[in-house]
C-alpha cells in the first residue's frame, strides 16, 4: 500500500477541526480514527465518548469492545440495536487493527443507522484505503488519519500545544524536552500535564529551570548545551558535558546526541552554502524568516545564533564532520565500536570534531 501523502501538520489541523465539531455536538454516524500516531486517536475517542451521551445514558447506550476479543459479526449486531431511552447508541471499537476479518464491518458501514454512532480506533497503521470498509467510512462518516511527526516538526507543535494552555516556552527548555522525549507525543503530553500542575502561580513561561526541577533533565548537561559548546568551539565545556553523559548513559543515549550534533552541523553547512551563493553567484541571502522555513526552526532566536556560529566553521571542515557523524551513528548502533562504550565513543568523536 502506498505511503500516505498526508503530513503531520494536516493531522493536527484536522484533529482541531474535529474537536470543535464534537464540542458543538455535530456528530457523524461513523468515525474511523486510524494511523501510526495514537495520541490524536485517543483524544478524539475520549472526547466523543464523554460528549455524545450523558453519564446516565452511557450506562445503557455506550458499549466498548476490543478487536482482540470481538468478531465483526458481533459488532455489526451491536450497531443495529436501538438506543434505550436515549438519542444515540454509541459503539466504540478499540484496537481495531487486531480485529479478524475487519472488512466484514462493511455490512454495517454501507448503510449505517441514524441512531448509532460507531467509533473505530485503528492504531499502529492505517486501514487499507482500497477496501470497501474505508471507502464506506469516508462516504458515510468521518475518516481521520493520524500521522507520526518528524523530529523537526515537534518543536512547532509543542510551542502551539503550550500556547493553547496560556503559556510559552523558552527555546532552551523546548530543545531540552524534544531531545529527551523525542517524537512521542503521548509522552510529551503526559510530562507537560505533570509539569503544569507543578508550576508556580502566575508563571507565563516554561524555562530550563522548570524542566530540570520537574522533568528531571539537567539544565547544564544536555544536548542543547553540548551543541552550543561545540558550535562556539568551547572544548573544555563540551568534554565536561561528555563526561556527565558517560556517567549517566541511560539519560543521555549516544544516538540522540549524535542526531543533535548532526542537526547542528547540517544547519551550519546550509548557512555557509547560502553565504557562498551570495558571494559567488550574487544570490540574495535569505532573511531570518525565510531561514526559519529553510532550516525548519520554530524561533528567530535560534537563527541569530546559528548565523554567528556558522562563521566559525568552514564548510570543508563541516563536510568532514558530517561524515564523522555518519560513521559514529553506526558505532552508536554497535557497528565497529572496537570495544569502546558510549561515553568513550562520544569523547573520541568530540576530539575528532575539534581537530578538523
Residue with the three cell numbers 485503528: 122
Residue after which a domain boundary falls, among 100, 115, 146: 146
What are the φ and ψ backbone dihedral angles of 139, each rounded to 5 degrees?
-75, -45
* Cell of residue 98, nine digits: 487486531
Give the count of domains, the chain. Answer: 3
> Would you state the pLDDT for residue 188?
87
- Low-confidence stretches of the chain (pLDDT < 70) are 1-4
Which residues have a Cβ under 8 Å from the Cβ of 45 and sit 6 or more positions away?
31, 33, 92, 94, 119, 121
Determine the Cα–Cα distance for residues 301 and 298; give it in Å rounded to an integer. 9
**Are residues 309 and 325 located together in one domain of the fold?**
yes
In terms of residue numbers, what domain contains 42?
19-146
Residue with the three cell numbers 503544569: 196
**Are residues 118 and 162 located together in one domain of the fold?**
no
Q: Note whether residue 2 is domain-resident.
A: no
CATH of the domain at 183: 1.10.8.60
**Are residues 111 and 129 located together in one domain of the fold?**
yes
CATH of the domain at 319: 1.20.272.10
Q: Are strands 30-35 and 142-146 parallel, antiparallel or unpaired?
A: parallel
**Are residues 313 and 341 located together in one domain of the fold?**
yes
Q: According to DSSP H, which parts of the chain are helical?
A: 8-23, 38-51, 55-61, 72-79, 106-109, 132-140, 151-163, 171-181, 185-198, 208-215, 223-231, 235-247, 254-281, 288-295, 300-310, 315-332, 342-355
> Would you state the pLDDT for residue 302?
86
Which residues have a Cβ under 8 Å from the Cβ of 213 and sit 6 or more positions away?
198
Determine the Cα–Cα distance for residues 120 and 98; give it in Å rounded to an integer. 12
Which residues have a Cβ under 8 Å from the Cβ of 253 and sit 6 or more positions away?
332, 342
**Are residues 66 and 181 located together in one domain of the fold?**
no
> Would you state the pLDDT for residue 214?
86
102-145 pLDDT per residue, tens: 999 999 999 999 999 999 999 999 999 999 999 999 999 999 99
**DSSP-based three-state secondary structure for 27:** coil
Model confidence pTM above 0.85: no
180-205 pLDDT per residue, tens: 887 889 888 888 888 888 899 899 99
**Are residues 311 and 342 located together in one domain of the fold?**
yes
Q: Note whether residue 317 is domain-resident.
A: yes
CATH of the domain at 57: 3.40.50.300
> Would you state the pLDDT for residue 154?
87
> Would you state the pLDDT for residue 1?
45
* Cell of residue 194, nine digits: 505533570
**Are residues 230 and 252 located together in one domain of the fold?**
yes
> Would you state the pLDDT for residue 3?
54
**Are residues 159 and 269 located together in one domain of the fold?**
no
Q: Note whether residue 10 is domain-resident.
A: no
**Are residues 306 and 346 located together in one domain of the fold?**
yes
**Are residues 229 and 267 located together in one domain of the fold?**
yes
Amino acid at each position: 500500500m502506498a505511503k500516505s501523502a498526508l503530513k503531520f501538520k494536516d493531522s493536527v489541523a484536522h484533529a482541531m477541526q474535529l474537536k470543535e465539531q464534537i464540542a458543538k455536538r455535530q456528530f457523524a454516524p461513523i468515525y474511523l480514527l486510524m494511523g501510526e500516531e495514537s495520541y490524536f486517536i485517543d483524544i478524539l475517542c475520549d472526547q466523543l465518548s464523554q460528549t455524545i451521551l450523558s453519564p446516565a445514558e452511557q450506562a445503557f447506550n455506550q458499549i466498548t469492545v476490543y478487536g482482540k476479543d470481538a468478531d465483526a459479526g458481533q459488532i455489526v449486531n451491536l450497531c443495529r440495536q436501538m438506543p434505550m431511552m436515549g438519542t444515540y447508541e454509541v459503539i466504540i471499537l478499540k484496537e481495531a487493527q487486531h480485529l479478524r476479518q475487519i472488512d466484514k464491518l462493511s455490512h454495517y458501514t454501507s448503510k449505517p443507522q441514524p441512531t448509532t454512532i460507531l467509533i473505530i480506533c485503528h492504531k499502529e497503521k492505517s486501514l487499507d484505503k482500497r477496501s470497501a470498509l474505508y471507502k464506506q467510512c469516508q462516504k458515510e462518516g468521518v475518516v481521520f488519519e493520524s500521522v507520526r511527526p518528524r523530529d523537526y516538526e515537534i518543536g512547532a507543535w509543542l510551542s502551539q500545544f503550550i500556547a493553547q494552555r496560556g503559556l510559552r516556552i523558552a527555546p532552551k527548555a523546548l530543545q531540552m524536552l524534544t531531545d529527551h522525549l523525542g517524537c512521542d507525543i503521548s509522552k510529551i503530553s503526559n510530562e507537560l500535564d505533570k509539569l503544569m500542575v507543578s508550576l508556580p502561580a502566575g508563571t507565563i513561561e516554561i524555562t530550563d529551570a522548570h524542566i530540570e526541577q520537574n522533568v528531571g533533565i539537567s539544565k547544564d548537561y544536555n544536548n542543547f548545551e553540548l551543541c552550543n559548546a561545540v558550535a562556539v568551539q568551547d572544548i573544555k565545556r563540551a568534554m565536561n558535558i561528555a563526561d556527565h553523559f558517560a556517567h549517566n548513559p541511560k539519560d543521555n543515549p549516544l544516538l540522540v546526541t549524535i542526531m543533535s550534533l548532526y542537526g547542528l552541523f547540517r544547519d551550519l553547512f546550509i548557512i555557509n552554502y547560502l553565504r557562498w551563493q551570495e558571494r559567488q553567484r550574487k544570490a540574495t541571502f535569505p532573511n531570518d524568516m525565510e531561514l526559519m522555513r529553510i532550516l525548519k526552526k520554530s524561533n528567530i532566536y535560534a537563527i541569530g545564533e546559528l548565523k554567528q556560529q556558522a562563521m566559525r566553521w568552514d564548510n570543508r571542515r563541516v563536510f568532514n564532520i558530517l561524515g564523522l557523524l555518519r560513521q559514529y551513528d553506526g558505532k552508536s548502533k554497535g557497528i565497529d565500536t572496537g570495544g569502546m562504550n558510549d561515553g568513550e565513543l562520544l569523547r573520541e568523536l568530540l576530539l575528532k570534531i575539534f581537530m578538523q
